[in-house]
Amino acid sequence: MLFEQINDEGWARAYLIVDEDAALAVLVDPVLEFMTRDEEMLKRNGWRLACVMNTHTHADHVSSAVHLARKYDCPYLMHSSTSVPCAGLLVSDLEEHSFGALRFRFHHTPGHTSDAMCIEIENKLMTGDFLFNGTNGGGRDDLPTGDLEDHWASLQVLSRFSEGIFICPGHDPPGAPELTLEENRETNPVLISSSFEDYVRWQRATWEVLGEVSRMKYALPANLTCELPEQDYFADQ
């Protein structure tokens, strides 16, 4: 299995997983700005796109998932609680799906969004905005469908995994390494929080630092309607 984080620019991360024997590829959380690059990568390596997946409904950037799924006639997979109408393959908590030799298991982790999930394959856990690495903590819960209590409760899902599993988040600084769950338990403020009140304090302090999500007015409607964003979206970059 080839597993690679493919975005070199910005904090948004996307993952390529390939069954090299069968030349089957899966993309997780692909970003619209890099769609042409991703298509060229598939063509150059002779890989067939078997599925595109989103860990949640993104509010800060436009996903290319539906556009890739339409072009390559492959499933667009999300959690069954999503409001995205064009996600045609919907999964439940602990459900499994295989594409060639790639076997994925899905874990519902609402909080950052109501449809958030983690995607497990071998010793990797793609956590979207549920959990970042180290001091970056996790995604904010003050955006549409976010819920502080749900996110806090969802942290119990981490007990399903070995301490050595690698956390592969939806955002992190460029070049930052993945850390194990064990390493995150020592450094991640979300996991260090000893009570729900501590977690809420950390979240609210994070909201103040991050401020407004300026591109949400373009990105969220595009992701919910499965259409391309307005041209102003690209001008705002």
Q: What is the pLDDT along the chain (237 residues), one digit of tens a residue?
A: 999 999 988 889 999 999 999 999 999 999 999 999 999 999 999 999 999 999 999 999 999 999 999 999 999 999 999 999 999 999 999 999 999 999 999 999 999 999 999 999 999 999 999 999 999 999 999 999 999 999 999 999 999 999 999 999 999 988 888 999 999 999 999 999 999 999 999 999 999 999 988 889 999 999 999 999 876 666 655
What is the reported pLDDT for 237? 54
The predicted pLDDT at position 234 comes to 67
DSSP string, 43-104: HHHT-EEEEEE-SS--SSS-B-HHHHHHHHT--EEEETT---TT--EEE-TT-EEEETTEEE
Per-residue pLDDT at 235: 62
Q: What is the pLDDT of residue 9?
A: 85
Its pTM stands at 0.96
Q: How much is the pLDDT for 236? A: 57
pLDDT of residue 11: 86
16 neighbors 4 (Cβ within 8 angstroms):
yes
Domains in the chain with CATH codes: 2-235 (3.60.15.10)
